[in-house]
Structures are given as structure tokens and as C-alpha cells.
Amino acid sequence: MLSAVPLASWADSIVSVREPDISETLSVDALPLEFYQFDPDEYWLEPEDSYWLQFSNWVLGSQRSRSRLVQSFGEWADRTLSGSDSVLPDNASYVRIGFATKSEYGDPLQLEPEGRFRLDIPTVEEKLRLVIESESDELIPLEERRRTRQLTDDQRSETDATGALRFLSEVGDAINLSNDVGIRLRIPPDAFWRATARKRWQLDEDWTLLADQRFFYFHQTGWGERSRVSFGREVGKGWRLLVASELEWVHREREFMMSQTANGFKELNNRATVNPRIGILGESQPNWRTTSYFADVTYRYRLYHSWLFGELIPAIEFPRDASFKDRTSLIVRIEMYFSGNLER
């Protein structure tokens, strides 16, 4: 997903993100052994000069300098739009770039660049935000959204960047409501409106229910609606289960799209997570029917700090348009985040 899948404003002026002094960090002995990919005795050894070391130093320097630029731009926009000399520490902007390669039956590995961005600026009026995003998921088919991590950039729909003013409010003491008014950043521009309501319930000591309802209207493509209900709970030994149902009305096609997924999630250690998943996709035209079955496993590894990640995603799909014959694929992805805020 230029995911999507969050730049911070912490100062009164444009400042750089400061690297912590060694005295401020934890000692070697205080860190768990699984943190290291080498023997702790090797921690203080001098690095050997190599092409890999030169390249990695270039990557680290680029990330630091670009993150400062992204953070500074977010802070400048925040102050300019709010008319205040101060900025809030709630800026959720980011830039994410990476490379992914996908292998399928009979196809060699093909390296594809990827990129996503979000400029999410809180003004001093806490309930009003400016949100600029590289894509609008209302214009992405439901089937593609559910399988987005299995796809490379050239396989995703082009939706154009959007810019919107978002007003945040609450209904009662639990329902979070947001209204967006904006345009697709293209020629000619396409005005849109969307409203989203979310609520979470703790059903009992184990089960949690999350409901998400969205209505939207695009001037050129018409209106739509999306309902999503998720049930989640801990199932033991560090695993969490999430079962989600989603129904979407596609106005231009005059049909409903549906999905049913079951997700597992576990943190293997402080660097790695695993997310197995199975799902069913369907549609209402020409009648209610299944369009695809799929399963995948996402193994995500934090390669460095909290901004460089690697992913390995084996997947299998059984689509109707291929007479439900299996299609297997393997995605290998590297992602780098540029953000002043590493709390994503």
C-alpha cells in the first residue's frame, strides 16, 4: 500500500529529532537476550569497514535527515493553518517507501517500488484536522483492500491523492464520529464527503466488539456505504483472534460486496510478529455468490530501530474467475518510514 497500514509536532519551532546519548539508553546487560542477533560480548567490537557498512550508514543518515524534513513540514503546516505559535504533539503524518517482489506460478521475482504518505495535521482547535493522503480507500474495491499486503504497487487501483478537512466529535460518551469534506487532487477535481462512526464494546472479560460504519459520496462516482463488525479476544499463549465481517455498497455497480475473515496475531519477540489469516469474498450480482477464497501468513520483522521493517507473505487464492483453481504467491517486502513520530 504511495499502508498505507502514521509525523509528530513536539516543539514550538522547527527542530531536529535528537539521537539519545549513550548515557540515556539502557545498558547492554539490561536488554533481553532476544533483542540481539549476535553474542552480547560482541556489542563493543569495532565494526569492520565494508561496502555493506557504507551502504547501511547511508541508509541510516538518509532516514534521519528525511524524517526531520517530514516532521518540520508537518509542524510548519500545523502552525500556519492554526494561526498559533505552538503545535500539538498529535501529528500522525508519515511517508512510507519500500520495495516488494512477488513470485507466482511461472513468473520470476519482479522488484517493484512502493510508496504511501499521509499528512495528518491537528490544529489548536482539537476537533478540526487537515488530512492529505496518497489514496482513498473508499475507491478501492473491497477484495483489493482485504488482500492489499499480498499485492505489489502495480497491482493496486489508482485512486489519486485526497485532501480533506476532518471534524471530530462524539455521540454520547462512547461513539467516535468524524466528518470529512474534501477533494481528490486531480484535474478536474472530484469533491467528496464521508462520515465515519466507531464504537467499541467490552462484551465480557474475554470478547471485544468493534463496530465501524461509514457513508461517503464522491461527485463523479456517487455514494456508497460500508459496515464492518469485528470480534476479538485473547486465545492463550500470546495469540489474539479477530473475526471480522464487512459489507459494502458499490453504487456504480449497483451491488453489495462482502468479506469474512479470521485473523490470528502473535508477537514472537520484540522484533517479530506473525499474522495468519483466512478469508472469503463475495458479491450480490448477478446473485449472492462467493468470488474468492484466500489464505496468507504475514511474518513481519523489525530490521532496525522502529522504522525499517521486512515482510515475508506466502499466500494462496482460489478465485471464481479461474474456476477456483489455486493461485499461490510469495511476497518479500522491505519498508522504511520517514516520520518525526516513531509511536505508530
User: Where along the chain do its domains lie?
Assistant: 22-338
The yes-or-no verdict on residue 3 having pLDDT over 50 is no
- Residue 323 has what DSSP assignment? T
* Cα 87 to Cα 101: distance, rounded to the nearest angstrom: 39
Q: What is the grid cell recorded at 149?
A: 499486503
Cβ–Cβ under 8 Å, residues 239 and 268: no
pLDDT (0 to 100) of residue 12: 35
pLDDT tens per residue across span 80-137: 554 444 444 445 566 677 777 777 765 555 666 777 767 666 654 557 888 888 888 8
Distances (CA, A) of 293 to 3, 9, 55, 313, 323: 23, 43, 42, 16, 12
* Cα 190 to Cα 220: distance, rounded to the nearest angstrom: 6
- The mean pLDDT value of the chain amounts to 77
Q: Which residue has the higher pLDDT, 214 or 169?
A: 214
Interior CA angle at 166 toward 163 and 169, to 5°? 170
Residue with cell 495528518: 120
* Cα 201 to Cα 334: distance, rounded to the nearest angstrom: 36
* Cα 231 to Cα 244: distance, rounded to the nearest angstrom: 6
What is the β-pairing status of strands 94-104 and 327-338? antiparallel
What is the β-pairing status of strands 190-202 and 272-283? unpaired
Distances (CA, A) of 136 to 53, 117, 247: 39, 11, 18
What is the β-pairing status of strands 175-184 and 162-171? antiparallel
Give residue 179's pLDDT band: very low, low, confident or very high (50, 70, 90).
Answer: very high
Fold designation for 22-338: Porin (2.40.160)
pLDDT tens per residue across span 214-260: 999 998 888 999 999 999 999 999 999 999 999 999 888 889 999 99
